[in-house]
Amino acid sequence: MSASRQFRLASRPVGEVKASDWDLVQAEVPEPGEGEFVVEVTHLSIDPAMRGWMNEGRSYVPPVQIGEVMRALALGRVLASRHPQFAEGDLVQGAFGVQEHAVSDGSGVQKITVAQGVSPAAYLGVLGMTGMTAYFGLLDVGRLQEGDTVLVSGAAGAVGATVGQIAKIKGARAVGVAGGPEKCRLLVEELGFDAAVDYKAGDLHADLREHTPERINVLFDNVGGEVLNQGLTRLAHGARVVICGAISQYNNTEAPSGPSNYMALLVSRATMTGFVVFDYADRYPEAAAQLSQWVTEGRLTSLEHTVRGDIETFPSVLLELFKGTNTGKLVLELA
Ligand code: NAP
C-alpha cells in the first residue's frame, strides 16, 4: 500500500496562517468501496476563502473541523473506480481537499474534458468557480447594463480579472483597482480594461476620481477596507455595490470597522448586496457554456498563476494570496 499525504487542520489561526495550523499526515492511498472512486489530486485551487473556512463560527459553509482534511477545490485523475459513472483515467473536479488522494462517491464532482488550447488549471479559474463568481456576481447581482462603468477591486486577481473582461464583452467601461504598476499595466494593455488604479500608489481618492469621471454603476468589491470605502464615494445614481469578498479583512484579529462612507448609498439610491456563488449552482451549466465560448473565441483570457510544487508547500502558497504575489487564478500543481 503506498503512502499519501494530507493537510489536517491542527488549530484555528489567529491573524495570518502559519504552517503549524495544520498537521501534514501520512495516510494510505484509499481503496474505493462499492459506488466510490479514488482520485489522485493534480491541481489544488488556492482560494482566499480557505482562510475563512479555518475560523470557528457561522458562515456560508460549516468551518473545517480540527482534525479534518483542509477543504479545497481540486482537479485530479481517477486512479481506481467502483462507480458506474466514473472510470479510471477520467479528469475530475471536486472538493477533494488538500491531500494527494481522495475517495469520492461522485457528489459534487464533475468530469472535465480539457478543450484545445486551454490548460487544466483554467477549470479551477475562468472555467470553474472563479468564472462562475464573476459571471453571476456581475450580471445577476450587479445587473450590468451596456454603457455602465464597472469598478472592480482585486482586479488582477482571479475573480477580478474575469469581471473586468466580462464587463468589456458586455459593452461596459471597466476600471480595475490592483496593487502595483505591473498589475495595472497588465489590466489595461493585455486584458483591455479602460483604466487601472494602483491602490498602493498614494492617493486612491484622487486616482479613482480621475478614472471614473462619469462615476460608477457597478462596484464589484473583492477586497473591502479602504478600497471599498473610497469606491463608495464614486457611486452613480442607482449604483449596485456587489460584495464578493473582503480579502483585506480576512486576517483581522479584531472586527473590521464598517465603511465610513456608507451614506453614499443613500445619496446615490444605491444597493449593496452580498452573494455566494454556490447559490447559483443550478445555473452553472449556463455560465460554463458562455464562459467557454468566450474563451474559445479569444474574447476572455484565462489568467492563471500556477505554482508547481510538493504538497508540503501548500501553507506558503496560500500566503501568496495575501501578499498579492499572484496575478490571476492561483493554483498549486502537485509535482
Ligand atoms: P485573488 O484576487 O486571485 O487573490 C487575492 C488578491 O487580493 C491578491 O493577489 C492581492 O492583489 C489582493 N489583496 C490581498 N491582500 C489585499 C489587501 N490587504 N488589500 C487589497 N487587496 C489585497 O483571489 P480570488 O480567488 O479571485 O478571490 C477574490 C475575492 O473574491 C476574495 O475576497 C474571495 O474571498 C472572493 N470570492 C467570493 C466568492 C463568493 O461566492 N462570494 C467566490 C470566490 C471568491 P493585489 O496585488 O492587487 O493587492
Of the candidates 137, 293, 323, the residue with the CA atom closest to the CA atom of residue 221: 137
How many helices (H) and strands (E) the chain has is answered by 9, 15
Q: Residues 315, 21: contact at Cβ < 8 Å?
A: yes
**Ligand 1 site-directed mutation target among 222, 250, 279, most atoms within 8 Å of CB:** 222
Q: Is the CB of 327 under 6 A from ligand 1?
A: no
Q: Is the CB of 125 under 6 A from ligand 1?
A: no
Q: What pLDDT sits at residue 255?
A: 86
Rounded average pLDDT over 64-84: 98
Of the candidates 242, 173, 249, the residue with the CA atom closest to the CA atom of residue 211: 173
Whole-number Å distance between alpha carbons of 220 and 231: 10
Place 182 in a pLDDT band, splitting at 50, 70 and 90.
very high
Q: Is the CB of 149 under 6 A from ligand 1?
A: no
Beta bridge mates, 240: 218, 271
- Which single residue is written with the C-alpha cell 464597472? 150
Q: Is the CB of 321 under 6 A from ligand 1?
A: yes
Q: How far is the CA of 223 from the centre of ligand 1 (A)?
A: 6
Q: Is the CB of 222 under 6 A from ligand 1?
A: yes
216 pLDDT more than 70: yes
* Percent of the chain whose pLDDT exceeds 70: 100
Rounded average pLDDT over 225-230: 98
198 pLDDT more than 80: yes
Of the candidates 223, 241, 226, the residue with the CA atom closest to the CA atom of residue 150: 241
Q: Please count the residues of the chain.
A: 335
Of ligand 1's listed atoms, the one at least distance from the Cα of 243 is: 41
Output the average pLDDT for the chain.
Answer: 97
Q: Is the CB of 8 under 6 A from ligand 1?
A: no
pTM: 0.97
Place 200 in a pLDDT band, splitting at 50, 70 and 90.
very high
**Ligand 1 site-directed mutation target among 16, 17, 159, most atoms within 8 Å of CB:** 159
3-class DSSP state of 269: coil
- Tens digits of residue pLDDT in 256-289: 878 999 999 999 999 999 999 999 999 999 999 9
- Tens digits of residue pLDDT in 317-334: 999 999 999 999 999 999
Q: What is the 3-state secondary structure (H, E, C) of 129-144?
A: HHHHHHHHHHHHHCCC
Of the candidates 246, 331, 314, 329, the residue with the CA atom closest to the CA atom of residue 7: 314
Of ligand 1's listed atoms, the one at least distance from the Cα of 49 is: 34
Q: What pLDDT sits at residue 265?
A: 98
Q: What pLDDT sits at residue 257?
A: 79
Rounded average pLDDT over 287-299: 97
Indicate which residue's Cα is closest to atom 14 of ligand 1.
Answer: 322
Distant-in-sequence contacts of 311-317, Cβ < 8 A, 24+ apart: 311/5, 311/7, 311/24, 311/44, 311/98, 311/99, 311/100, 312/5, 312/24, 314/7, 314/22, 314/44, 314/46, 314/70, 314/98, 315/7, 315/17, 315/18, 315/19, 315/21, 315/22, 316/19, 317/46
3-class DSSP state of 159: helix
Q: What pLDDT sits at residue 258?
A: 87
Whole-number Å distance between alpha carbons of 48 and 319: 9
Place 335 in a pLDDT band, splitting at 50, 70 and 90.
confident
Indicate which residue's Cα is closest to atom 7 of ligand 1.
Answer: 154
DSSP 245: -
CA distances from 81 to 30, 78, 106, 114, 297 (A): 11, 7, 11, 21, 36
Rounded average pLDDT over 103-115: 96
137 pLDDT more than 60: yes
CA distances from 177 to 34, 60, 208, 217 (A): 50, 27, 9, 15
Q: How far is the CA of 58 from the centre of ligand 1 (A)?
A: 21
* Percent of the chain whose pLDDT exceeds 90: 97
Q: Is the CB of 326 under 6 A from ligand 1?
A: yes
